[in-house]
Amino acid sequence: MEQEKVAPAVAVARIDNETLELIQKAQEADLADHQLTIRQALSKYKKAVFWAMLLSTSLIMEGFDLIIITSFYGQTQFQQRFGELQPDGTKIITASWQSILSNMSLVGQLIGLSVNMWAQDRFGARHTMMFFMAWMTAAIFIPVFASSLPVLTVGEIICGISWGVFQTLSTSFASEVVPTVLRAYVTAWVCMMWGMGQLIGSGTVRGVVNVSGDWGWRLPFCLQWIWPVPLFFAAYFSPESPWNAVRRNKQDLARKSLRRLRDQSTTSDSDIDATLAYITHITNLEIAETAGASIFECFRGINRRRTEINCVVWAAQILCGNAILNYAVTFLQQAGFSEVQSFNLSISLSACYLVGGVLSWFLMARLGRATLYMGGLAFMFVCLVTIGALGFRNNNQANLAIGILLVVSTLCNMTTVGPVCYPIVAETPSGRLRYKTLTIGRFVYNLTGIFSNSVTPRMIQPTAWGWGAKCGLFYAGTNLLCNIWCWFRLPETKGRAFGEIDILFENHVPARKFKYTKADQFAQSAEEVQRVESSKKAEIQHNEIV
C-alpha cells in the first residue's frame, strides 16, 4: 500500500539558535532509536530493562490477591469460617458476598488510580511507589486478622488503593525508560507479572487445601508481606523516568536517569544530550498541544480519540471472556469438577499467563499490536460459543471439554489480548497526558470489573441465576462487540516512536491507515532550520559584498 505522509499539526513559532540545536540533536536521537536492533537495544539498555522489569513485579500482589479471593469462594476452610448455612447443611459464600468482596478491591483501586494520576505527576514514579509500598505493608494486617466478611471487605479496599497506584505506574514507567524496539516487551512483562501473581496464588491455595482451620485462608494473605519491603528498596535505588523528570522541569535529574539507564561503555555524553533533546522536543510539542494538561484535556480534540482507545482496550480485557477465567475454581466446580481438581486446573490456567506472555513477544514482533489483539478476540469468541453450547449438556465428556477449552482460551488470551493491551495503552496517549489517560482507561477497566463481578457469580452460582457454562454465550456477545470496535478504531502502533504517534493522531489518520502512513515529526522544524540557515547564508553573502 502506498504510504501517505503527515507532519506536525501544531504550528511552530520562529525559533532561536539554541532551539535549532535542540531540534537537530532530537533528530539524531530519533534516528539512532529507529536504527536499533533488539540485540543492540538489549545490550545498550540492559539496565533500563532490568529496572522496568523489577518495578513491574509490583503487579504480582494484585494478581495474587485476585486469584486467592476468587479461589476462597470454593475453599472449604474459608466457607466454614465465613459461609452462610444452607438447607442441606453445607456452607457457601453467597453470590452477593462474592460480588462485594471482588468489587471492594476494585473500589480501592479506583481511589488508588485517582491518587496516582496526581502523585506521579507531582512526585515522580520512585517516591510514589515507595510511599505505597509502605502503605501496603501496613494494609495487609487487615485481611490477615479479619474476623468477619465486612472487616475483610475493608481490608480489600485499603489494599486495593496501593494496587491501583501500581497498575498504571508500572506500565508508564516501563514504557518510558526503554527504546521503541523494546517497549512492547517490557510492557507485556507487566501483564506477565500480574499472571505470575495468579500462578503463585493458585499454587498457594492448592498447597493449603489440607491445612485445617483459619490458617487455611490466613496463610495466603500472610504471604503478601514477601513483596512490599524488597520493592520499597528497589524503588529507592531505581532511577526516575527521564520523561517524568523533563515534564517536571528537572533536566539534571533526567540527565542523571538517562546515564543510569544505559550501558556506560557504549554511551557518550553526546548520546545523552541527544536523547534529552528528543524528550524535551516532544514534550514541548505536547505542551503546545495540551497546555495546562488537566484531566479534561483527555476528552477534548484529538485526545478524546486516544482516551477512547485506552478505555475500550482496557475494558475488552474483561469483556473478551476473561471474566469467566477469574472465577475458574467456582466455575469448574459448578461444571462438575471436585475441589482439588478445580484447584489443580486453576494452576494450569495461571501458568498460561507466563507461557502466553513469552509467546506474545515473538508474535508481536511479526504481527504487530492490532492484528494480534483482534485475532485473539476472534479465537476466544469461538471458544466461548463452544463453552456456552456445552453448558446445555451435563455429562463427564462435556465437563472435560469445558476444562480443556478454558485452558486453551486462557492461553490464547495471555498470548494475545492480555499482554498486547499494555503496549497499546502505553503508546496511544500523548506523553503529557499519559498518566491521566492511563488512569482513565484503567478506571473504566475497574468499573467494567465491578459490573463483571456483580453478574458473573450470579450467572455461575446455582442458588442465583444458575447459568453455569452457558454464561460463555453472554461473554461471546461482548467479545464480538469489542472486536467490531477494534476493526474500525484500533490503530497499529508497532515500531512507532512517541513523536510519530502524536503526529498520526494530530492529523486524524484513520485506524486502518496508521500502519502505512509515514510520520515526519521534524518536518516543520526542518523547514525552520533550512529557512534560518538560508537567511544566514544570504546575510554572509551580503556582508562579503559590502
Query: How far does CA 414 lie from the centroid of its chain?
Result: 13
Provide the grid cell at 301: 480534540
Question: In this predicted structure, what is the pLDDT of residue 339?
Answer: 66
Q: Which residues contact 393 (CB under 8 A, 6 or more apart)?
A: none
Which residues, including other chains, have CB under 8 Å from residue 274's CB and lie 6 or more apart?
Answer: 25, 26, 28, 29, 32
Total-model pTM: 0.71
Measured CA to CA, the distance from residue 474 to residue 389 in angstroms comes to: 11
* Number of other CB atoms surrounding residue 86 within 10 Å: 11
pLDDT at residue 539, rounded to an integer: 47
| Dist CA 29 CA 272 (whole Å) | 9
Q: What is the CATH number of the domain that holds 429?
A: 1.20.1250.20
**Secondary structure of residue 463 in the 3-state scheme:** coil
Average pLDDT per consecutive 10 residues, the chain (546 residues; last block may be shorter): 56 54 70 78 88 90 82 82 80 81 84 86 89 94 90 91 87 84 83 83 82 86 90 93 88 90 79 84 69 74 91 91 70 66 72 80 84 92 89 75 79 86 85 81 86 80 72 90 94 81 85 80 52 47 51
Structural contact between residues 408 and 345, judged by C-beta atoms closer than 8 angstroms: no
Distance (Å, rounded) from C-alpha 388 to C-alpha 424? 30
Q: How many CB atoms lie within 10 A of CB 236?
A: 12
- At residue 391, φ and ψ (nearest 5 deg) are -65, -15
Going by the DSSP 8-state scheme, the letter that residue 92 receives in this structure is E
At what angle are helices 369-390 and 339-367 packed, to 10 degrees?
A: 150
The boundaries of the domain holding residue 294 are: 5-545
Q: Distance (Å, rounded) from C-alpha 204 to C-alpha 218?
A: 11
The cell numbers describing 373, all together, are 489483539
Three-state SS at 286: helix
Residue 523 cell numbers, joined: 518536518
Residue with cell 475441589: 339
- Cα gap 130→121, rounded to integer Å: 15
Q: Identify whether the C-beta of residue 165 lies closer than 8 Å to the C-beta of residue 419.
A: no
Spatial distance between the Cα atoms of 516 and 505, rounded to a whole number of angstroms? 14
End-to-end CA distance of the chain: 54
Residue 534 pLDDT: 52
What cell numbers appear for 401 in the block? 471439554
Predicted confidence at residue 406, as pLDDT, reads 78
Count how many domains the chain has: 1
Q: What is the pLDDT of residue 480?
A: 95
Contact 56, 191 (CB under 8 A): no
